């Protein structure tokens, strides 16, 4: 062991950074494979099939089986997250970055179970995103690597951010988008050196995970036509949908801040899953991370079904977070944006095309992530669109980001005025 330590110390610092990023990409890719198989295992136990075998995970599954699976995972999740939080807090990615600065003991196995359980919950039907788990595990794996290579504090924090991006790249096969995520969402200061190192990590992770995880588009989208006429429709959609997305994000943050973490979780979380089971009896496509809802919207469901899915999906996401569950909002936001765009197009009689629906998705994702480049890349990656879609999606994302900043400042000013009275 001492020889290994001495050997590592003898390596030039720049080379240690390169080795650390390469190894991080490797282990993050392997972690992505593990989570992929874990998700398939849980889906098989809960529904008898996985989403990779069936277009709609719940199709052909008896309602009683769906209900029993949700009740079991609701009870199990309440126990897992209650005991994990009894003697300490669970850390998000940014929480891990801050903790790295403060240098407390990071409970590796507790964090690993916490992140992995998110996959279990989503695989059994929880209505939240699965992307939180691979990002958190990638960040978690970066900590020991950074310390093992004796990196500086600044570079340790950077490596943790790279781990989060690598986890995202592994599961969704979006390496370039994951690089944007590292700088836009996690607030890492940009430099060409860091951009290259982040790219090394994410591309290695995507390559390794690609041995098992397919890089084909997640959603089956019809052939799309992009033209300048989309531009004025884009403005109409952005003005209407951005405030709705902003409200969803605001309520989601409130639900997460006031998440039940004490003994109450043993009641609230099973009740939340019972509520979800009741709704799933009539609308099973509410379940999961939003993939079924988005695909049903793309397939041309009636406006009544889409409106019902939009309202109920937003509601169950908020209730699930408040009740004590952990997870992501990325794929639910994608589905909500697509459904919202459909409803607006039908109400106003404009832009009722698949391209219009993708603009809705990029609007919702931009507001959720506060990252226009990441949002654009994710929509392109999820739907397999070509370069011709890039200008329209990117312009929509940038304008949405500017409008979101305005809304943040406006509502912040109003809150200050109300508290000063």
pLDDT of residue 101: 43
Tell me the pLDDT tens digit for each residue of 188-208.
889 999 999 999 999 999 999
319 has pLDDT over 80: yes
Tokens of 176: 């370039």
217 has pLDDT over 60: yes
As a whole number, mean pLDDT of residues 290-311 equals: 90
17 has pLDDT over 70: yes
pLDDT of residue 415: 58
pLDDT of residue 232: 82
414 has pLDDT over 70: no
Architecture in CATH of 2-209: Orthogonal Bundle (1.10)
Check residues 287 and 418 and name the one with the higher pLDDT.
287
All structural domains of the chain with their residue ranges:
2-209, 230-412
pLDDT of residue 102: 45
Q: Position of tokens 């890349």? A: 377
How does residue 103 score in pLDDT terms, banded at 50, 70 and 90? very low
Cβ-contact 294, 118 below 8 angstroms: no
Task: Using a pLDDT cut of 70, give the percent of the chain over it.
Answer: 91
165 has pLDDT over 70: yes
247 has pLDDT over 50: yes
pLDDT of residue 87: 77
Tell me the pLDDT tens digit for each residue of 327-344.
999 999 999 999 999 999
How does residue 352 score in pLDDT terms, banded at 50, 70 and 90? low
Beta carbons within 8 Å of 99's beta carbon, 6+ residues apart: 91, 106
Cβ-contact 213, 339 below 8 angstroms: no
**In whole numbers, what is the pLDDT of the chain averaged over residues?**
88
Tokens of 242: 């951005």
Domain 230-412: give its CATH superfamily. Clc chloride channel (1.10.3080.10)
How does residue 1 score in pLDDT terms, banded at 50, 70 and 90? very low
156 has pLDDT over 70: yes
Fold agreement between 2-209 and 230-412: yes
5 has pLDDT over 60: no
Cβ-contact 119, 325 below 8 angstroms: no
Beta carbons within 8 Å of 17's beta carbon, 6+ residues apart: 149, 151, 155, 197
261 has pLDDT over 70: yes
Q: Position of tokens 């949908």? A: 241
pTM above 0.85, yes or no: yes
Distance (Å) of CA 41 to CA 50, 129, 217, 390: 8, 17, 22, 36
């Amino acid at each position: 062991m001492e020889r290994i330590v001495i050997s590592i110390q003898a390596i030039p610092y720049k080379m240690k950074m390169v080795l650390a990023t390469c190894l991080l990409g490797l282990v993050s890719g392997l972690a992505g494979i593990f989570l992929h198989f874990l998700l398939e295992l849980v889906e098989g136990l809960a529904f008898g099939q996985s989403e990779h075998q069936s277009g709609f995970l719940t199709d052909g599954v008896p309602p009683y089986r769906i209900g029993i699976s949700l009740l079991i995972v609701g009870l199990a999740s309440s126990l897992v997250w209650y005991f994990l939080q009894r003697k300490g807090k669970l850390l998000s990615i940014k929480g891990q970055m801050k903790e790295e600065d403060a240098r407390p003991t990071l409970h590796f196995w507790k964090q690993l179970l916490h992140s992995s359980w998110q996959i279990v919950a989503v695989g059994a039907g929880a209505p939240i995103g699965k992307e939180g788990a691979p990002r958190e595990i990638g960040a978690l794996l970066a900590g020991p690597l950074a310390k093992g290579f004796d990196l500086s504090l600044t570079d340790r924090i950077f490596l943790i951010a790279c781990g989060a991006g690598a986890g995202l790249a592994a599961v969704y096969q979006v390496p370039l988008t994951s690089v944007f995520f590292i700088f836009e969402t996690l607030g890492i200061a940009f430099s060409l050196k860091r951009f290259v190192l982040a790219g090394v990590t994410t591309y290695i992770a995507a390559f390794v995970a690609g041995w098992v995880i397919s890089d084909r588009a997640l959603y089956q989208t019809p052939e799309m036509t992009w033209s300048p006429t989309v531009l004025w429709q884009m403005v109409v959609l952005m003005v209407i949908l951005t405030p709705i997305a902003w409200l969803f994000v605001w309520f989601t943050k409130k639900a997460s801040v006031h998440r039940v973490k004490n003994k109450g979780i043993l009641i609230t979380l099973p009740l939340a899953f019972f509520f979800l089971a009741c709704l799933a009896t009539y609308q099973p496509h509410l379940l999961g991370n939003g993939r079924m809802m988005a695909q049903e919207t793309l397939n041309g469901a009636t406006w009544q079904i889409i409106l019902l899915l939009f309202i109920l999906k937003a509601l169950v996401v908020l209730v699930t977070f408040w009740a004590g569950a952990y997870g992501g909002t990325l794929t639910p936001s994608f589905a909500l944006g697509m459904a919202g765009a459909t409803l607006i197009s039908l109400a106003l009689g404009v832009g009722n095309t698949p391209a219009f629906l993708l603009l809705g998705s990029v609007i919702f994702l931009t507001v959720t992530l506060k990252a226009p480049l990441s949002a654009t890349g994710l929509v392109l990656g999820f739907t397999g669109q070509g370069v011709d879609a890039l200008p329209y999606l990117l312009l929509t994302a940038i304008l949405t980001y500017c409008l979101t900043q305005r809304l943040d400042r406006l509502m912040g000013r109003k809150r200050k005025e109300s508290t000063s009275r």
